[in-house]
Amino acid sequence: MASQPLRSTSHPFPGARPLPEDFVEPLFPGISDAAAEIYQKLHGKTSVNFKKLPLADALKSVSETTGIPIILDLIDLENAGIRTDTPVTLQVSNVPVQTILKLLLGEWEMGYVVEDAVVIVTTVEIGSFKLTTGIFPVSDLVTEDRKSWKSLARLVEQETDGLWERIDGSGGTVSMVQAPQSLVVRQSPEGLVEVQRLLTFLRAAKRISEQRIKPPEEPKQEGLFGSDGKKKRRNKGLGGGFQGGGNFF
């Protein structure tokens, strides 16, 4: 059964910065409910203490501790010359599971992808082909001029770390869809997190800019006459003519 698109209030990227309350939330139709549950678990925190433990055993321990199914893509890893019995040492406390996986795998040119309800450990190169889709409404960041759309799309590619489209057709893409005023981004889940953060910062910068150029309101001047129509008695203070008895010090 096909899953429903996920709204950002329950989307699988809890590490992303919150969007403004009045903003239309992004959609992530390429992510199933089962995969969303895995991403939530990857954001959960745990502790590990590995000393020269074979990588495969370390990953098995993480899987048992967190309840996240982790499997090794043995064929692609072997083809890349990566041994799963390589000893690893890592001691961290109370950090996200996704951070632990990156620390364990990053040194060996390895990464992971989430497919349905499973985390698959594979090579970074193979992982770069495992992309999903995010739809980001951007009507508040662009104008009718197509140049503004192209500038925003270019900025997304330049200011995020995701692998973007290369000559061989691999990598993520950014498509501009003017009818729903949205950017359709195909990228890794981590890449989509970065896109959401970037757009959120752009909105914050825009609001700050608008507040600065908005002219301050002039203070209201009191009239010479009160509500009863009678002329107000003016207290001149230090300038002379202090109204009232006694001495003024």
Which position has the higher pLDDT, 211 or 12? Answer: 211
DSSP tag of 217:
P
87-91, 229-233, 238-242: range with lowest mean pLDDT: 238-242
Q: Which domains does the chain have, with CATH numbers?
A: 36-127 (3.55.50.30), 131-208 (3.30.1370)
Angle CA 92–93–98, to nearest 5: 70
Q: Is the dihedral of CA 123, 111, 36, 31 positive or negative?
A: negative
**Which pLDDT belongs to residue 238?**
39
pLDDT digits (tens, 9 = 90+) for 185-228: 998 877 888 898 899 889 888 888 887 776 656 666 555 555 55
Using 50, 70 and 90 to split pLDDT, how confident is the model at 34?
confident
- List the alpha helices (DSSP H) in 80-188: 97-106, 124-127, 146-158
Q: Distance of alpha carbon 115 from its chain centroid, rounded?
A: 21
- Mean per-residue pLDDT over the chain, rounded: 78
pLDDT band for position 151 (50/70/90)?
A: very high
Categorize the per-residue pLDDT at 7 as very low, low, confident or very high, splitting at 50, 70 and 90. very low
Q: What is the pTM of this model?
A: 0.62
**Beta 45-54 vs 87-96: how paired, if at all?**
antiparallel
pLDDT in tens, 106-148: 888 888 888 878 999 998 877 767 788 899 999 889 988 889 9
pLDDT bucket at 92, cuts 50 / 70 / 90: very high
Whether the CB-CB separation of 29 and 135 falls below 8 Å is answered with: yes
Whole-angstrom Cα Rg for the chain: 29
Q: What is the pLDDT of residues 63-85, one digit of tens each?
A: 999 999 999 999 999 998 999 99
